[in-house]
Structure 1
Amino acid sequence: MSFTRGIFVVLFSLLVIQINAQRDTTNIKSYADQVMVRANLDTNIESYIFKEGEKGNEKLQVFSINNKTKVSLSVDYRIISATLSFAPKFFSENKDNNLKGNSSYTDFSIKFFPKRLIQTLYYKNVKGFYIENMKENFPDWKDGDPYLQFPNLRVQSFGGSTAYIFNENFSARSIYTQGEWQKKSSGSWVPFLDYDLTIFRDKVAEQDLKETQYKIGANMGYFYNWVLGKNVNISPYLALGLGGKFSTYRDVRGDGSRKNAQYVTLRMEGGLTIGYNTDRFLFGGRMNFSAYTYNQDRDRAVQSNSVYGLLYIGYRFAPPRVVKDTYDKIQKKIPVL
């Protein structure tokens, strides 16, 4: 657990920095003194790749959940942005239980924006998977047949990222959460660390299975915020990363001993955001892509590629007195807020 303790030591050290919550400058307008509520419609739900079989005759299995669209509700005030995500059943693409089984999805994240730092923490809980690439693993399978389901497979993730904005005239918050508005076009290099602890649990033939994975990566990205007039911005970005993945599991098919594995990971992600902003009302959309790969042995590399979209709409308003007073009291005890 020294890895996990080390991460929290780093985060604590970063968050004890004294900050000013609001920063109105000639280039950036802050909405930190406003409460913002925002709703997102998002298609970014992860899949997981596993390798099965003897060396030289392995098969890759892509495990997905039967929820392809999620809804996120966010609340922003001062330097904090909190988001709760879930996958409602009223979307048609989330209903196909007969073929793909029943799935549940919950994701909670919180972001802090102390000066030019961006600190993200999240927790994700997913249960109920099916094998998406059935044709590759079972040649006799055809469209319309039920997918192989794993209703007891549960994935819990605890993680986060720590980013630093090199250019003080660039507002990453105007892209991430719309908590600020950048008045003049500008860009910045953004280095960031991402880290994750994921626990896989399943029950097969009355036997409990568990695998623990640690991931950490160092990334460098470039973000640009192109401001068109007073209300519209277009923001592309691209990031590359190098990291490590460490896995621990029990070999239930062999001698039952505990196995450890380490991999070098490569990552690339990018996207484009288009937004419309006023002092009260905002909306926009985002298209992102990500590519992730690592070598499992000399002859095989595992890859995961995805493209996903997001739509958002939000509204700002003056904070209720009880919210402002409560935040001020907490801030006296925790100055970082």
Structure 2
Amino acid sequence: MPAIFEPLTLRSLTIRNRLWVAPMCQYSVEDRDGVPTDWHLVHLGQFAAGGAGLVVTEATAVSPAGRISPQDTGIWNDEQAAVWARIVRFLHSQGAAAGVQLAHAGRKASTFRPWSEERGTVPAEDGGWEPVAPSATPFPGYATPRALDTEEIAGIVADFAAAARRAVEAGFDVLEIHAAHGYLLHEFLSPLSNERTDGYGGSLENRARLLLEVVRAVRAAAGDAVVFVRFSATDWTDGGWNEDDTATVAGWAAAAGANLFDVSTGGNVPATIPTEPAYQVRFATLVRDTVDAPVCAVGLITDPEEAEEIVRFGRADAIMMGRELLRDPHLPLRAASVLGATIDYTPPQYLRAPFA
């Protein structure tokens, strides 16, 4: 059996293969109430029918102020959770595990969605809100955020815990804490965005404090669900967050209850990123080797043979794909044919059109 089609067990969850769907923002809640729609059901459901092992939602806000755009999904109330439960039931019916990415956008919140004619921060008169961050330091081109006080920080930890409880009640198997791509938890980790002088700023231990509080709170609320942490392993900027910091903090997060690390890069500050196929895999491997914990790799991994090589040679335990699955939602089924894997989860409705 090809390595990417071997099941992976995390806690009591066995995921049928190692080809997973990365979180991909859809910016498609037109009512701006955070409630997922039929778009999300069909968008996510197609990947489960297409053979993915794990399907992870887009960045799903733990509070209204944590949304990247007004059109983001959320899981801060029971109405949202009830609709997510319907989506989870469909993913499970197709044999896929269901994951939710719990997120707070921090200083990158309240922005126009990518295809809008406008750019930057949505003003209050258009439904926007004041973003918050560790420090009153804006992301270039966005509004200056308000620095959080310690009472508000405690409230954010509570928001993550409440969202985790709702996610478990909705049936999600995996809860991913989003600490990457320049959003709130990453902003606290990086000295380029965290200029605090209290217990949440300065040293690496202090800058990691909020993330570890969130990990412990989510782990306590998660029951037997699996907890991931998504990191950006480097800011790609001198003096910023880097891969050694990531490996160190991942070790602390593992001790706090995280079960797997989803390793990406960048997003906190504008930077020149030297992209090439599989360019972020080496960062995932560093975390895997340092922490002795499972990791998944992301970033311009586009063909089954490449994914198979990464997993087979121990550079990562699983692969998350994004854009390539948008192009071909049935890529896992096609990969099974290409690599000669014997699987039993091709939808019977599709058997008349084998993935040869």
- Structure ranking higher in helix proportion: 2
Rg larger in structure: 1
Q: Which has the higher contact order (CA 8 A, sep 6+)?
A: 2
- Structure-2-length-normalised TM-score: 0.29
More strand as a share of residues: 1
Report the TM-score when normalising by structure 1.
0.30
